[in-house]
């Protein structure tokens, strides 16, 4: 049984902060497809189109029939632990600092046997569930979990290294003025975050739900206006050193394309919040989080950006908002690149129309703020980096992956009806 995680003690101010070190990050280009799937929490292996053989490690050619046509497919997570060891030395500094470390060989139901990290509750030679996740280096790895949930399972040291569990972590939600921000605060508090800092811009303007928000245990209201560099810097000065998870709930959405707008004032507001706001947060909070990627049980671990799925391909009905979301998505990729090596994951949640006032006339299905908040918490607990939420977003993402140019044609053709 996993020892339940204890609330981390206060940091000893006389001790130097442990700097992030990394598990091996080098991978072949082929293996990056595994990583990409792992970032979504999906275990994918290569399958031969000709003979259906499933192969691992990543190859260029089917070892059974020599077909070059190998494609990545989701496979069953089931398997059996056929051998294991507990490493007590390592040639890698990251692991050396974390010894002992349990690994094992799993015979997957899908066919191949694989090396995997092994959860402490897995019994010898038992059935396991093998998950794919990104590790602190940002690359995909497998971990064998007990087939059935065990007590305090999420607190396993090796599993927690792959996840961004909010438990005992300090979270900043950048905009608490909206229903989304407030749902997020509640979800994070319920998930065991030790502090939920909630940014409130323009406290001189009242907002719905303020009293309820302030009443959530663990919530601390902080002045934060992400359009104001000084405000962002001041808050980072105050809590940047103890922000373990940052969830950017600020968004600015207005219907309309470029031609039907007069001027760029609204588009500028969109960019101020969706793009420059994110950049200000990155500049103010990024360095501190990057530094604290290995800072104990409540190390900095995740940066969450909530993005409209139309960041992938423009939807003219919300054309300039889509453009600002595309800019934000691109910046989020930049952030991922800049945080690489820190152990801090960048989670992008691409969602379909949110059920809020600016999208009120849109038809269902919509994503409720509560659902989005719950998804963020679950995805943090699972350690995901790329999340797609809602039927509309799933549809757009699927089409985008099939062929972005066809999707572009679909979204820009004359709208019928």
The one among 9, 88, 259, 361 contacting another protein by CB under 8 A: 88
First CA to last CA distance, the chain = 59
Instruction: Please tell me whether residue 200 adopts helix, strand or coil conformation.
Output: strand
**Smaller CB separation from another protein, 179 or 225:** 225
Q: Which of 57, 120, 209, 287 binds another protein (CB under 8 A)?
A: 57
The interface with another protein within residues 136-175 (CB under 8 A) comprises 137, 139, 141
Is residue 78 at the binding interface for another protein, with CB under 8 A as the rule?
Answer: no
Stretch that binds another protein, among 5-13, 54-62, 239-247, 333-341 (CB under 8 A): 54-62
Closest CA to 392 of 409, 376, 370, 372: 372
Coil, strand or helix: which one is 112? coil
Going residue by residue from 202 to 231, which x/- string records binding to another protein, judged by CB under 8 A?
Answer: xxxxx----------------x-x-xxxxx
Judged by CB under 8 A, the stretch of 197-205, 293-301, 309-317, 330-338 that binds another protein is 197-205
Backbone φ/ψ region at 111: left (φ over 0), alpha (ψ -120 to 50), beta: left
Judged by CB under 8 A, the residue of 1, 26, 211, 416 near another protein is 26
Record the tokens describing residue 326, joined without a space.
């595309």
- Cβ closest to another protein, residue 5 vs residue 108: 108
Single out the residue of 31, 154, 214, 331 in contact with another protein (rule: CB under 8 A).
31
CA R_g for the chain: 22
- Closer to another protein at the Cβ: 327 or 397? 327
Whether residue 248 contacts residue 329, with contact meaning beta carbons closer than 8 Å, is answered with no
Give the residue, chosen from 87, 316, 317, 362, that forms a contact with another protein under the rule CB under 8 A: 87
> Of 20, 41, 95, 345, which lies in the binding site for another protein, with binding defined by CB under 8 A?
95
Q: Of 51, 61, 65, 82, which one interacts with another protein (CB under 8 A)?
A: 82
Residue 361 interacts with another protein (CB under 8 A): yes or no: no
276, two tokens: 């420059």
Distances 286 to 94, 239, 337, 387, 391 between C-alpha atoms, Å: 22, 12, 12, 21, 32
Q: Helix, strand, or coil here: 152?
A: coil
Token couple for 325:
């979301």
DSSP 367: B
Question: Nearest distance from residue 49's CB to another protein, in Å?
Answer: 21
Cβ 86 to another protein shortest distance, Å: 5
User: Which of 266, 368, 381, 382 lies at the binding interface for another protein (CB under 8 A)?
Assistant: 266
Strand ranges of the sheet holding 219-223, from the earlier edge strand across to the other edge: 219-223, 195-200, 170-173, 245-248, 302-308, 345-351, 386-389
Contact 81, 126 (CB under 8 A): yes
Q: Does 24 bind another protein (CB under 8 A)?
A: yes
Measured from the CB atom, the residue of 132 and 346 that comes closer to another protein is 132
324 and 270 Cβ atoms separated by less than 8 Å: yes
Choose which of 44, 101, 200, 303 interacts with another protein (CB under 8 A): 101
The torsion defined by the Cα of 174, 179, 182 and 184, in degrees rounded to 10, comes to: -80
Query: In the window 267-326, what residues touch another protein (CB under 8 A)?
Result: 269
CA-nearest of 251, 241, 228, 243 to 198 is 243
Q: Which helix (H) or strand (E) holds 190?
A: helix 179-190
Query: Which one of residues 125, 264, 283, 404 is an interface residue with another protein (CB under 8 A)?
Result: 125
CB of residue 94 to another protein, shortest distance in Å: 8
Q: Whole-angstrom Cα distance, residue 405 to residue 409?
A: 6
Cβ 29 to another protein, closest distance in Å?
10
Contacts of 301 (CB under 8 A, 6+ apart): 164, 169, 244, 245, 293, 343, 344, 345
CB of 235 to another protein, least distance (A): 12
Answer for which of 3, 4, 28, 126 binds another protein (CB under 8 A) is 28
Residue ranges binding another protein (CB under 8 A):
23-24, 26-28, 30-31, 34, 56-58, 63, 82-92, 94-95, 101, 103-105, 107, 113-117, 125, 135, 137, 139, 141, 202-206, 223, 225, 227-231, 265-266, 269
């Amino acid at each position: 049984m996993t020892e339940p995680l204890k609330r981390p003690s206060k940091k000893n101010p006389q001790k130097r902060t442990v700097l992030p070190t990394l598990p091996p990050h080098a991978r072949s280009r082929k293996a990056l497809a595994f990583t990409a799937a792992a970032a979504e929490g999906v275990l994918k292996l290569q399958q031969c189109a000709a003979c259906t053989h499933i192969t691992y490690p990543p190859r260029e050619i089917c070892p059974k029939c020599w077909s070059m046509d190998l494609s990545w497919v989701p496979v069953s997570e089931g398997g059996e632990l056929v051998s294991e060891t507990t490493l007590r030395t390592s040639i890698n500094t990251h692991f050396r600092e974390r010894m002992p470390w349990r690994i094992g060989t799993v015979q997957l139901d899908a066919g191949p046997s694989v090396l995997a990290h092994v959860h402490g509750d897995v019994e010898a030679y038992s059935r396991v569930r093998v998950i794919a996740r990104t590790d602190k280096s940002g690359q995909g790895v497998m971990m064998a979990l007990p087939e059935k949930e065990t007590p305090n399972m999420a607190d396993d040291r090796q599993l927690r290294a792959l996840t961004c569990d909010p438990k005992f972590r300090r979270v900043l939600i950048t905009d608490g003025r909206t229903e989304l921000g407030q749902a997020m605060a509640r979800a994070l508090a319920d998930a065991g975050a030790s502090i939920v800092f909630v940014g409130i811009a323009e406290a001189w303007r009242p907002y719905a739900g303020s009293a309820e928000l302030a009443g959530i245990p663990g919530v601390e209201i902080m002045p934060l206006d992400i359009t104001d560099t000084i405000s962002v810097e001041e808050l980072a000065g105050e809590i940047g050193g103890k922000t373990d998870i940052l969830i950017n709930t600020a968004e600015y959405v207005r219907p309309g394309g470029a031609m039907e707008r007069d001027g760029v004032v609204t588009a500028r507001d969109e960019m101020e919040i969706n793009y420059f706001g994110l950049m200000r947060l990155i500049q103010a909070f990024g360095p501190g989080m990057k530094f604290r990627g290995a800072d104990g049980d409540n190390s900095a671990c995740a940066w969450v950006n909530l993005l409209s799925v139309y960041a992938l391909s423009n939807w003219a009905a919300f054309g300039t908002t889509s453009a600002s979301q595309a800019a934000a998505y691109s910046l989020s990729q930049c952030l991922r690149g800049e945080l690489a090596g820190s152990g801090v994951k960048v989670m992008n949640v691409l969602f379909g129309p949110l059920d809020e006032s600016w999208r009120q006339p849109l038809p269902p299905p919509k994503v409720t703020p509560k659902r989005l908040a719950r998804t963020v918490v679950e995805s943090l607990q699972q350690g995901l980096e790329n999340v797609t939420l809602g039927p509309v977003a799933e549809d757009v993402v699927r089409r985008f992956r099939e062929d972005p140019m066809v999707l572009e044609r679909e979204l820009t053709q004359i709208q019928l009806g």
